[in-house]
């Protein structure tokens, strides 16, 4: 998949639901005409129930697609899609080595513990687990976000260990806050995993995204030490071969 594919699918489904409800309302409008012309065909009680259900569905869809309180509304989905696409482009421009690979919007259950992993990148030196946030993360929710990345890092390390038995695969976690203003200045966070272990997660903001590009590009030019099977399997995850 391309960068942002997970959000693109949600955007499509939201639009599809809205179209379905709009079609239902149009159909009920046609039903009203039939009721006026042929009242003996449609009972009044059933008409009230049908219109009430359509109105409720329309209100729910309106809330889902327009309410700022809903994280999956159309505006937030568009912002998220733009952020993930931008980070994906930075990653792909940075990778030029023969043994590199990248997969976007990974939902493989052995790797993604919750939702999807925005980007998984294999360089000759390490596997990167990258999460992109387009919407401001409240300070009290930052630890949850970091811990989720830590769990995914652990899952990736276990998955890579099965591909290359007896070898230790370096896994790097990365959180990109792609919005304009962020109060978080600390570059490295300790992620607490569900199994009690810890992982180091690096922080990048919209302004420091170029540093991430430089760091990955630097690894991409180093001598191969990562098992080549890992990069090959990442290409199969629905990723893009670079």
Model confidence pLDDT, tens digit, residues 189-221: 999 998 899 999 999 988 888 888 888 888 888
- Whether the full predicted model's pTM is greater than 0.75, yes or no, is no
Q: What is the pLDDT of residue 134?
A: 80
Q: What is the pLDDT of residue 18?
A: 59
Q: What is the pLDDT of residue 57?
A: 66
Using a 10 angstrom Cβ sphere, with 0-12 exposed, 13-18 middle and 19 or more buried, the burial of residue 36 is exposed
Where do we find the tokens 């930052």?
142
Q: What is the pLDDT of residue 98?
A: 74
Q: What is the pLDDT of residue 24?
A: 60
Instruction: Please choose, from the candidates 186, 184, 154, the residue with its C-alpha nearest in 3D space to the C-alpha of residue 171.
Output: 154
Q: What is the pLDDT of residue 239?
A: 45
Sheet architecture: strand order including 198-205: 188-192, 198-205, 171-177, 127-133, 117-122, 101-106, 240-241
Q: What is the pLDDT of residue 210?
A: 84
Q: CATH number for the 78-241 domain, one of 3.40.1350, 3.30.750, 2.60.40, 1.10.150?
A: 3.40.1350
pLDDT < 50 positions in the chain: 2-4, 7, 72, 239-242
């Amino acid at each position: 998949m391309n960068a942002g594919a997970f959000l693109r699918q949600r955007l499509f489904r939201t639009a599809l639901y809205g179209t379905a409800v709009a079609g239902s309302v149009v159909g009920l409008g046609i039903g009203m005409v039939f009721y006026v012309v042929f009242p003996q065909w449609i009972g009044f009680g059933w008409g009230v129930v049908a219109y009430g259900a359509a109105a409720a569905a329309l209100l729910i869809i309106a809330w889902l697609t327009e309410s700022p309180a809903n994280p999956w509304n159309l505006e937030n989905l568009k912002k998220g899609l733009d952020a993930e696409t931008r980070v994906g482009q930075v990653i792909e421009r940075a990778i030029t080595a023969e043994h590199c690979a990248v997969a976007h919007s990974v939902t493989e259950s052995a790797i993604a513990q919750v939702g999807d992993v925005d980007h998984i990148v294999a360089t000759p030196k390490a596997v990167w687990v990258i999460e992109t946030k387009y919407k401001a993360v409240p300070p009290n929710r930052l630890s949850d976000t970091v811990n989720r990345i830590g769990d995914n890092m652990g899952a990736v390390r276990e998955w890579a260990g099965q591909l290359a038995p007896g070898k230790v695969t370096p896994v790097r976690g990365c959180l990109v806050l792609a919005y304009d203003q962020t109060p978080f200045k600390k570059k490295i966070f300790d992620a607490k995993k569900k199994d009690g272990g810890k992982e180091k997660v690096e922080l990048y903001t919209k302004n420091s995204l170029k540093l991430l590009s430089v760091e990955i590009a630097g690894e991409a030019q180093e001598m191969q030490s990562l098992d080549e099977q890992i990069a090959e399997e990442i290409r199969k995850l629905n990723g893009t071969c670079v």
